[in-house]
Amino acid sequence: MGAWFRTFFKPVAPQALRLPSRAYTYRFYLCATLTLLVILSVMLDHSLLGIFILALLAMVFCADVFVECSLKDFANRRASFAGLCALGCWAGFLYSAYNTFTTRPLPAPTQELYIYVLFVLTLCLWAQRSLVRLSEKAHIFIKKIEDFLPKSARLVVQGNQTKKVFSGELKKEDRIVVKRGERIPADGVIEQGESFIGEELVTGNIYPAFKKEGSFVFAGTLNKSATLTVRITQPLATSVIMGVMEAIKAGEKRREKIKSPLDSNAWWLLIGMLLAAAAAAIYVSHREPLGSFLQPAGIILWTLGVMCPAGLAFCTVFPVFFLRWNGHRKQVRIRNIDALVRIVDSEVFFFDKTGVVMPGDKGEVLRPGVEEAVRFLQAQGKEVVLVSGDARQAVQKIADQLGIEKFNFDVLPNTKAEIVSNLRALDKKITMVSGNVNDVIALLRADGGIVFSCEKNVYNSWVDVLARRQDLYPLMYLFKIKKGLRKITLENFILTIVLHGVLAGYLLYHLPPNADWQWPVGGSLAIVLVLFLNSIRIMRIK
């Protein structure tokens, strides 16, 4: 049954995550404004027709994005957070609209759900906007790099003469002239001159590096001081900066396959809402004489509207907020929450000897906690591999000391990236643990990237976890926090569904048909408070 369910309902990426964040931004602010106007109109006892018009504007111009995305998702045989929002909000709106224009209101505890519907819609737009903005950062950064890449170069021809050519025309062993203020169009070696070079786009280092004759320079870096003559070693197409861009793009493609927590349980939530609505209609029909066919229809619409969980958007937001806060106190910046799962599920952990096992300025002193971290990973069934650019004897000595069976020596940064790519091609899940963001390509190609460094670096935002500490204990903390996050998030989902069900059941059983709108809205806010208090427990994880 489970296999059939997974086969029939294809794991296609939700349409709502493919839209730009601006599609949700202006809708969010418009919906929030209209919600405030509706609340003000209700408090001032304005015309119900005016309230209906304000709510209609919100549904037409703000909920349209969820309707469109949910229809496309259903065409791909999948349910999504957008579909839940569209169903619940439109059900509550239609129920309220019918009661606005009829002399015989539908039987239910609350005659108008306008405020509740707009309240839920505003929260859904905010939650979806936050998810989309996370995936947009990579595209913006890639575009920034592409804009910085030089389009032309000064190729040295006969004697000391130069001519302008496109950067893509350069070949190995060509000689070029790069003047002050220009970006280098390919990887190469300086043959004449010396200068300070801004290498932040390649190495991530925000401080300029001094280069002289014989020094390597990289495509995309900025010549800040004096004119240089450079011999090309790698054209732009195969340069280091292009490798960085490809690694970022590949990482973003992997992220697109990850389900949003708000979408992963959408089918079960949808089925639960429909069953609850049907059960409510049957219960009310048995309790009271059936006046018309509209009676069960009204109960179904009301229940779907109230059962659309306003707290659903906070099920993951609150735990993630407190997780980041707790990590910040421990000097552990968790940049990518999704990476926690990939890190914990990784089969192989690559430890960079210099910077992780042994901080560069500490000689032969091991970093505190490294022995405990290695034993912990091995006890979890993980394979630990030591990699270093040092000679075999030095690397083997440290590997033996830590009980690591596999190690690689004389490994350059590009080779580290190739090793990670080769293992991933064999369906191995890899986490790269480095002490230097110069290993940015290997970090981006791995399933998870962890850096132990206190230096400022433009690539810090692309590292999944950045630990600004001298010990390696945060590595074990990640395993604990992932387990705690999963547990608390699941509890929040269960609490949201159960408490909304209790709220709907209580209103159906105890209250008269003319209960005020404060009951569903106030009940939902109380549920949000419960989720807040439950989520704060993640701060206790050490």
Question: Is pLDDT at 248 greater than 90 in this prediction?
Answer: no
Residues in the chain: 542
Give the confidence band of 33 by pLDDT, cuts at 50, 70, 90: very high
Domains of the chain: which residue ranges?
2-141+265-318+485-540, 149-245, 332-468
Residue 100 tokens, joined: 């606005």
Predicted local distance difference test score (pLDDT) of residue 102: 81
Assess contact for 278 and 296: CB atoms under 8 A.
no
Q: Residue 54's pLDDT band (boundaries 50, 70, 90)? A: very high
Per-residue confidence (pLDDT) for residue 516, from 0 to 100 = 73
Q: Taking 90 as the threshold, does the pLDDT of residue 31 lie above it?
A: yes
Question: How are the residues of the chain apportioned to helix, strand and coil, as percentages rounded to the nearest 5?
Answer: 55, 15, 30
Spatial neighbors of 363 by CB under 8 A, at least 6 apart, are: none
The yes-or-no verdict on residue 440 having pLDDT over 60 is yes
Q: What is the DSSP letter of 101?
A: S
Confidence category of residue 9, pLDDT binned at 50, 70, 90: very low
Q: What pLDDT does residue 377 have?
A: 92
Mean pLDDT of the chain, nearest integer = 82
Residues 229, 193: contact at Cβ < 8 Å?
yes
What distance in Å separates the CA atoms of residue 304 and residue 84, rounded to the nearest whole number?
9
pTM over 0.85, yes/no: no
Res. 8: pLDDT tops 50: no
**In the predicted structure, residue 5 carries a pLDDT above the cut 50:** no
- How many percent of the chain have pLDDT more than 70? 85
Higher pLDDT among residues 283 and 185, named by residue = 185
pLDDT at residue 390 tops 60: yes
pLDDT for position 147: 67
Please write the tens of the pLDDT for every residue from 468-513: 888 888 888 899 898 888 899 889 888 888 888 888 888 877 666 6
Q: Are 105 and 133 within 8 A, CB to CB?
A: no
Q: d(Cα 150, Cα 218) in Å, to the nearest integer?
A: 12
CA torsion through residues 24, 29, 34, 36, sign:
positive
For residue 270, pLDDT over 70 is answered with: yes
**What is the architecture of the domain spanning 149-245?**
Distorted Sandwich (2.70)
Which of 126-140, 215-229, 234-248 shows the lowest mean pLDDT across its residues? 126-140
Residue range 352-357: average pLDDT? 75
Please write the tens of the pLDDT for every residue from 257-266.
Answer: 555 666 777 7
Say if CB 255 and CB 209 are below 8 A apart. no
| pLDDT over 70 (residue 95) | yes
Phi, psi of 353 (to 5 degrees): -60, -50
Residue 456 has pLDDT above 70, yes or no: no
What distance separates the 2 farthest-apart alpha carbons in the chain?
A: 102
Highest mean pLDDT among 98-107, 211-220, 311-320, 428-437: 211-220
267 vs 119, which has greater pLDDT?
119
pLDDT in tens, 128-154: 887 777 666 555 555 666 666 788 889
**CATH code assigned to 332-468:** 3.40.50.1000
Taking the C-alpha atoms of residue 39 and residue 154, their distance in angstroms, rounded to an integer, is 66
CB contact set of 38 (below 8 Å; sequence gap of 6+): 51, 54, 55, 114, 115, 118
Residue 127 predicted with pLDDT over 90: no
